[in-house]
Structure 1
Amino acid sequence: MNVILKAARIIDPENKFHNQVADIKISNGIIEEIGSNIGSAEGFKEITVPNLHVSKGWFDTSVSLGEPGFEDRETIANGLQTAARSGFTGIALQPNTFPVLDNQSQINFVKQKAAGFATSLYPIGALTKNSDGTDLAELFDMKNAGAIAFGDYGKSLDNANLLKVSLQYAQDFNGLIIAFSQDNTIKGKGMVHEGIASTQLGLKGIPSLAEELIIARNLFILEYTGGKLHIPTLSSAKSVELIAAAKAKGLQVTCSVAVHNLVLNDTAIEGFDTRYKVLPPLRSEEDRKALLAGVLDNTIDCITADHNPIDIEHKKMEFDFAKYGTIGLESAFSALQTVLPTPVIVAKLTSGKAIFGLGKNNIAEGQQADITLFDPEGESVFTLENIHSKSKNSAFLGMKTTGKVIGIYNQGKLVLS
C-alpha cells in the first residue's frame, strides 16, 4: 500500500529528523520522501491523525501464541494481527507450543503460517529437546531454518553443564542462548514474591534469591565459555546489579524486563486475582524501582510484554492451580507511558532487533518502511474492548493508561488500530 503520513513527529535519536514534524511518503514499502507539505498523489492514502508520532518499528523479544497445539489460547494469524494493532512490526515467538519448536520442521511450520502478515514473526528454537532440560535440541539446523535464538521458555536449566556446552557450541554459528533464571529447588512450591503480601495472604513465596543464584551461576559459566547470553525478564534489584557487574567485565550478556514488572508490584495479588500470577512474580516496590533505574541507565537492554495467552479454564481458578502468565501486547505502550518517558520506551521497544541479530530499520529515504505510529498523550482506561487476543488474561484490565497506538506500516502493509 502507498501512503503519506502527514505531520508526523519522528522519534528516533539517530535520525536527522529526530523530534521534527514532517510528512513521510511511502511507495511500495519504501520510504520515498521525507519533508514538509508533501502534496497529495494519485494512488496514495493520506494518514492525518492529531498528534501523530512515528518511530522505528517496535520488536517484542518474548511472545507466546500457542499454535501449534494450543490454538484455543491463540493462533498465529490472530496473534500477528494483535501485535500489529499493538504497534509491533516484529515479534520473537517462544517455542512453548505442542509440539515444542525444537527442530527444523517446526521452525519452518510457524514461519509458513506467518507469511504475508504486516508483523514479522521470528521464531525462537527450544534449547533442549521438548524443552525438558535433558538433551540439546537441533540448534544448528534450526538456525538454518530461521531460528533467531535458543531457549526453553519459562524453564531454567538445572544442568549447568548443558548451558556450558550450548554456549560453546553456539559460538560456531554466532548463536544466541536465552537462559531463564530460577533455582527450582529454592522456588519449591512458591507462587508469588516472598514478602509481606505473600505472608499476609498465606501464599507460598518465591524469594528473589531463586532468580539471583541462577543468574550468578549463568554469568560465571558465560565468563568461562564466552559466547552470547540473553537473560530474559529480570525481576529483582540484585539481578540488575549482577548484570551491571557482568557488563562492566565485558561479557556479551543482554537482558530484558517485562512490562508488568515495571508497572506493578506484589501488592496487586491482594485480591487473589490470578491475572497477576506471573513468572517471575511481581516483586516488591523496591525491586520495581530498581528495574526502572536499570532501564534508565541502560543496564536493562530491552522491554518485553512477555505476552502469554492462557485460556480461561487454566486461569480463572484457585490461585494455587492457575497457570502463570499475562497477555501484554495490547497494553504494553500505554502502560509503560505511566512510568517511563516516551523516548526511553521507544528505545527499549526497538533495541531487541540488534540483540537478536536482525539489524536496524531506519526512517530514511530509500529505506524499507518499518514504522510504528502512536500518540503518547491522552488518558484512558484499559478494558476488554482493547483486547484483541483470543485469551483475556490481562494484568492491566481496569488500569488507567496514557497514550495509544495508532498502527504500523511494515512489509508494504498498513494496519491501523
Structure 2
Amino acid sequence: MNILLKSVKLIHGKSKEFHLKKRDILIKNGIIEKIGTDIDAPSKAKIIDHKNLHVSLGWIDTGASFGEPGYEERETITNGLDTAARSGFTDVILNPNSFPLPDSSSDIVFLKNAGKGHLTNIHPLGNLTVNGDGETLAELYDMKNAGAVGFYDFKHAVSNPNLLKIALQYAQNFNGMVLSFPMDTHIAGKGNVNEGTVSTKLGLKGIPAMAEELQVSRDLFILEYTGGKLHIPTISTADSVKLIAAAKKKGLQVTCSVAVHNLFQTDEVLEGFESNYKVLPPLRTSKDCKELIKAVKNGTIDFVTADHTPLNIELKKVEFENADYGTIGLESSFGALNQLFTLEETIDILTRGRELFGIEIPEFKEGAKATLTLFDPDPEYTFTEAHIASNSKNSLFLGHTLKGTVLGTIANDQIHINI
C-alpha cells in the first residue's frame, strides 16, 4: 500500500530535524520511503491531505481490558483493537480481565494469535497468580516466553506480602515485570468512593486514601529488600506520588501509572449518583488531581493509561453501590489529555512506555517501519455516544468537553482513517 501524507506537522520532541516542521511523508509497503517537501504522489497512492494535519509516532496504552475470552458481550479482541486503532493507538497492553484468566503460556498464545493481522499490536499481561486468587504464583517464566510483557492480578491487591517478595525475586531471573494494584483491601473494606466530604454528604461508604498509600508503602519496602522491577498501576493520591518519588531517588526500579480519568475528574461529580463515575481506584479530590498532573509532568508518574474497562449495561445501569467499577477510555484519552496538558506534553505521554515493557520502539526516519498516529489537536467538542466505537458504552467522559480529534493510524502496513 502506498500512502502520501501531505503537509503534516510532526510532533516528536526527540527529533531536532523534524519536530514542529511541516513535511510530506511517502509510505510504501509499510515503510517510510521519503520525508520531504512537495513530494509527488506515485500512481495509485492514497493521498491524505487535511487542514491542520499533525502526525506523531504511534501511541501506546499501558492498560486496556477487552473481555474475550468469556466476556465477548463486553468487548471482543477484534473490535477492541479496531477501537484502539480508531482512537490513535498502535500498541495496547492488555489487562488480564477475561474468563478464564490468562495464567498459562497457552492463554498468552491464544491472545497473541487473536491479535494477529490487526493494525494495533496486542501485548498481553499474564496473571500473577493462578486464577488470580492471590495464593499460588502462575507460570510466569513460561508466559514470558509466550509473549507476556508483565504479570498482574487485575485490580486485585497482592495481599500476601511474602507472595510479592517471592514473585519479585523469581522474576529477576528472566527480567520479568511484576505489577501490584495499590489498595489494601482490609482498609478499603466495602467502600465505593473516595472517603471524604463528598462520601459523607452522599451517604456512600468510602475508600480512604490510606488504603492506597499503605499498600504502596508496603510494596516499596518489599522491593527495596528484593530488588527487581515493580510497576504500580493506576495510583490516585498525592501521598502515593511522594512515596514513589522517594523510592525512585533511592534508585529502586519502580514505575507507576495513573488513569486519565483520575486526572480529569474529582469526587465532586458523584452527586448525581451516575454509575459511570464509579471507578477503581475511586475519583479523589482536586488536591490529588493537581499533584497527579504535576507528577506526570515531572516524570514521577511514568505513564497515563485509559484504564479502558468495557462493561455491559446490566453491570452499570443499577444502583450506584451495586454497579461494577470501570469506564471505557480509549476513545476519549487524547481529547482529555489534550485539555490538561500542552500538545507536546500530551504526545510525549501517549508515546511513553514501550521500553519498560520490552516493546519495539518505532522510529521516524526514512527506511523505518511506519508506525504513526494522525490527529488535529484543535477542535473542541462534547463527547457523546457517537464518539464511542466500543461495544460497551460505559464512559465517564460522556457529556464533557474534550479537545482534539484522531484522524487516523498507520501501522503494520495498514491504515485506519477517520476522515
TM-score (structure 2 length as normaliser): 0.99
Counterpart in the other structure of 2:174: 173
Q: What's the secondary structure of 2:26's corresponding residue?
A: strand
Counterpart in the other structure of 2:269: 268
After TM superposition, the structure 1 = structure 2 runs for residues 392-411 of structure 1, keeping only pairs within 5 Å, are 392-411=393-412
After TM superposition, the structure 1 = structure 2 runs for residues 18-417 of structure 1, keeping only pairs within 5 Å, are 18-417=19-418
Q: What's the secondary structure of 1:150's corresponding residue?
A: coil
- Alpha-carbon distance, 1:363 to partner: 1.0
- Alpha-carbon distance, 1:43 to partner: 2.8
Provide the C-alpha distance between the structure 2 equivalents of 1:311 and 1:399, rounded to a whole number of angstroms: 21
Q: What's the secondary structure of 1:177's corresponding residue?
A: strand
Provide the C-alpha distance between the structure 1 equivalents of 2:252 and 2:346, rounded to a whole number of angstroms: 25
Counterpart in the other structure of 1:11: 11
Query: Which structure 1 residue ranges, 5 or more long, are not aligned?
Result: none
Query: Which structure 2 residue ranges, 5 or more long, are not aligned?
Result: none
Provide the C-alpha distance between the structure 2 equivalents of 1:247 and 1:264, rounded to a whole number of angstroms: 27
Letter matched to residue 92 of structure 2 = I
* Higher deviation after alignment, 144-153 or 357-366: 357-366
Q: What's the secondary structure of 2:322's corresponding residue?
A: coil
Provide the C-alpha distance between the structure 1 equivalents of 2:356 and 2:345, rounded to a whole number of angstroms: 17
Letter matched to residue 86 of structure 2 = R
Offset from partner CA, 1:62-83 (integer Å, 9 cap, x none)? 0000000000000000000000
Provide the C-alpha distance between the structure 1 equivalents of 2:373 and 2:38, rounded to a whole number of angstroms: 21
- Alpha-carbon distance, 1:359 to partner: 3.2
Structure 1: 4+ residue segments shifted above 2 A? none
Provide the C-alpha distance between the structure 2 equivalents of 1:249 and 1:5, rounded to a whole number of angstroms: 46
Provide the C-alpha distance between the structure 2 equivalents of 1:255 and 1:370, rounded to a whole number of angstroms: 25
Offset from partner CA, 1:365-406 (integer Å, 9 cap, x none)? 111111111111011110000000000000000111111011
Offset from partner CA, 1:93-139 (integer Å, 9 cap, x none)? 11111000110111111111111010000000000001110100000
Provide the C-alpha distance between the structure 2 equivalents of 1:248 and 1:283, rounded to a whole number of angstroms: 26
Provide the C-alpha distance between the structure 1 equivalents of 2:179 and 2:46, rounded to a whole number of angstroms: 42
Provide the C-alpha distance between the structure 2 equivalents of 1:181 and 1:401, rounded to a whole number of angstroms: 29
Provide the C-alpha distance between the structure 2 equivalents of 1:176 and 1:242, rounded to a whole number of angstroms: 20
TM-score (structure 1 length as normaliser): 0.99
Letter matched to residue 368 of structure 1 = K
Provide the C-alpha distance between the structure 2 equivalents of 1:230 and 1:346, rounded to a whole number of angstroms: 22
- Alpha-carbon distance, 1:416 to partner: 1.3
Offset from partner CA, 1:127-158 (integer Å, 9 cap, x none)? 00011101000001101111011111101000
Q: What's the secondary structure of 1:161's corresponding residue?
A: helix
Letter matched to residue 68 of structure 1 = P
Q: What's the secondary structure of 1:354's corresponding residue?
A: coil
The root-mean-square deviation of aligned C-alpha atoms, in Å, is 0.7
Provide the C-alpha distance between the structure 1 equivalents of 2:256 and 2:402, rounded to a whole number of angstroms: 25
Provide the C-alpha distance between the structure 2 equivalents of 1:25 and 1:296, rounded to a whole number of angstroms: 33
Q: What's the secondary structure of 1:9's corresponding residue?
A: strand
- Alpha-carbon distance, 1:355 to partner: 1.5
Letter matched to residue 187 of structure 2 = I
Letter matched to residue 310 of structure 1 = L
Q: What's the secondary structure of 2:397's corresponding residue?
A: coil
